[in-house]
Chain A
Amino acid sequence: MSRDRTDAVIAALGRDARPVRRIPPLRRQLATVLLLAAAVAVVVVAGLGLRAPGLPLLQLGSPFLWMALGLAAAGVAGATSALAFARPGREAEAWRALALGLAALGLAGLASAYAVAGSGASSEPIWRGAPELPCIIASLVFSLPAALLVTRLASRAAPLQRGRTAFVSAGSATALGALAAHLICRTPGEWHVVVTHALEPFVGALLLAAPLYALLRWWRR
């Protein structure tokens, strides 16, 4: 293709300059996602009830509280990252948010592991196999509304790296879904809260990334 052809491309684009609707600010999109995730959590808790009563849910330093904070932070930071990845020129911000989310989840995992180890439950098995699965499935199901919304919002921006956007969307939405699952989880064992709940966002990122990528492509057509 020649330079003359580039001139022709510019002229054609100039002729095609119809008014376009600017994408809303990232914060507004993020607030929409968080509102939806909160609504899902409220509906889930209202329908299924909080985690077994009697557990020190809000006690400072309890594994439950640490993990709830970690999942919430990972969800918020991950959704910020996914939406920023879909906007050209905001990759640095997206990477920072992603790193922050991962660090928050990692720290929450470490803090809750420390709390479990100090509680005398450390002799319990860390991974029970099949009984862990319902919780993972619940977190995936609860993550679907947020996953679809983040992907839809990302598709309306300009995701240059669709794979990356889909992967982070999947992980962040699953973190938010895992938070709802965490609130109602009845799987026994303190290590379950630490290990399975912390791993759920990664499982979701792996399992949901491909369908979200396909959706992103579909919506971008």
Chain B
Amino acid sequence: MAAAQEGDGQRYEALLHEVRPVVQAYVRKRLPGDAAVEDVVQTVLLLIHRARHSYRAERPFEPWLFAIAKNALRDHQRRGGRRARREETLRDDLRRHADPDAPGDRARSASPESGAIARELERALAKLPASQREAVTLLHLEGLSVDEARSASAPRAAP
């Protein structure tokens, strides 16, 4: 680390490669999902980079490293918790209504129950801000990909 602080890029890179499996193991023990683990590992690497001036060679490296990893993990979990509280999962019947081509649902899409679901879906959509409503409509009801949805909404968003 001392070499990294002096600007030795090769040794710094070697150190980060050495640190990576240690951080991965630490995060994997506490977080499910490979993508999330990799996200946090990358955040830890970036934080190490930003905080590298705060390491002092006369002190052990591990507590410094794990304090950064612990903090990144805590932040990730806090953000995840906030996101989970904000988002609401679409009920299965609404999801089926949004995808009328799903097996066994074609007949149901024309039923009275389907009309009630459609009204409930409209009410839920009406509660969303315009930009979110448009995104949900394009992505989930019209079935566009993210790129297609972006192109579809771009002309309207332009000044």
Nearest CB of chain A from residue B6's CB, rounded to whole Å: 5
A160 B68 Cβ-Cβ under 8 A: yes
Asked whether any CB of chain A lies closer than 8 Å to the CB of B145, the reply is no
Partner pick for B7 among A3, A17, A22, CB 8 A cutoff? A17
Which residues 76-90 of A sit at the B interface, judged by CB distance below 8 A?
A: 86-90
Interface size class of B (residues with CB under 8 A): 35 or more
Chain B residues closer than 8 Å to A5, beta-carbon distance: 38, 42
Partner pick for B13 among A10, A22, A88, A161, CB 8 A cutoff? A10
Nearest CB of chain B from residue A51's CB, rounded to whole Å: 41
Nearest CB of chain B from residue A93's CB, rounded to whole Å: 10
Main secondary structure of the interface of A (DSSP, over half): loop
Which residues 18-56 of B sit at the A interface, judged by CB distance below 8 A?
A: 20, 35, 38-39, 41-42, 45-56
Asked whether any CB of chain A lies closer than 8 Å to the CB of B139, the reply is no
Q: Which residue of B lies closest to A10 (CB)?
A: B16
Chain B residues closer than 8 Å to A59, beta-carbon distance: none
Asked whether any CB of chain A lies closer than 8 Å to the CB of B155, the reply is no
Asked whether any CB of chain A lies closer than 8 Å to the CB of B114, the reply is no
Q: How many A-B residue pairs have CB under 8 A?
A: 94
A23 B56 Cβ-Cβ under 8 A: yes
* Known contacts A20-B53, A23-B56, A88-B51; A9/B6 CB under 8 A: no
> How many Å lie between the Cα of A9 and that of B42 in the bound state?
7
Asked whether any CB of chain A lies closer than 8 Å to the CB of B142, the reply is no
Nearest CB of chain A from residue B86's CB, rounded to whole Å: 21
Residues of A in contact, count (CB < 8 Å):
30
Asked whether any CB of chain A lies closer than 8 Å to the CB of B10, the reply is yes
Asked whether any CB of chain B lies closer than 8 Å to the CB of A46, the reply is no
Asked whether any CB of chain A lies closer than 8 Å to the CB of B79, the reply is no
A160 B16 Cβ-Cβ under 8 A: no
Asked whether any CB of chain A lies closer than 8 Å to the CB of B129, the reply is no
> How many Å lie between the Cα of A25 and that of B17 in the bound state?
28
Main secondary structure of the interface of B (DSSP, over half): helix
Q: Which residue of A lies closest to B13 (CB)?
A: A14
A1 B53 Cβ-Cβ under 8 A: no
Chain B residues closer than 8 Å to A25, beta-carbon distance: 56
> How many Å lie between the Cα of A134 and that of B64 in the bound state?
43
B13 A11 Cβ-Cβ under 8 A: yes
> How many Å lie between the Cα of A9 and that of B68 in the bound state?
17
Asked whether any CB of chain A lies closer than 8 Å to the CB of B104, the reply is no
B4 A87 Cβ-Cβ under 8 A: no
Which residues 147-184 of A sit at the B interface, judged by CB distance below 8 A?
A: 157-158, 160-161
Nearest CB of chain A from residue B28's CB, rounded to whole Å: 13
> How many Å lie between the Cα of A25 and that of B59 in the bound state?
11
A9 B67 Cβ-Cβ under 8 A: no
Asked whether any CB of chain A lies closer than 8 Å to the CB of B63, the reply is yes
B12 A17 Cβ-Cβ under 8 A: yes
Q: Please report B residues at the A interface, Cβ cutoff 8 Å.
A: 4-10, 12-13, 16-17, 20, 35, 38-39, 41-42, 45-56, 59-60, 62-68, 71
A-B contact pairs, 27 of them (CB 8 A): A1-B42, A2-B38, A6-B20, A6-B41, A6-B45, A9-B45, A13-B16, A13-B45, A13-B46, A13-B48, A14-B9, A14-B10, A17-B8, A17-B12, A18-B7, A20-B5, A20-B7, A21-B53, A22-B53, A88-B55, A88-B71, A89-B59, A89-B60, A89-B66, A90-B67, A157-B54, A158-B50
Q: Please report A residues at the B interface, Cβ cutoff 8 Å.
A: 1-3, 5-6, 9-11, 13-23, 25, 86-91, 157-158, 160-161
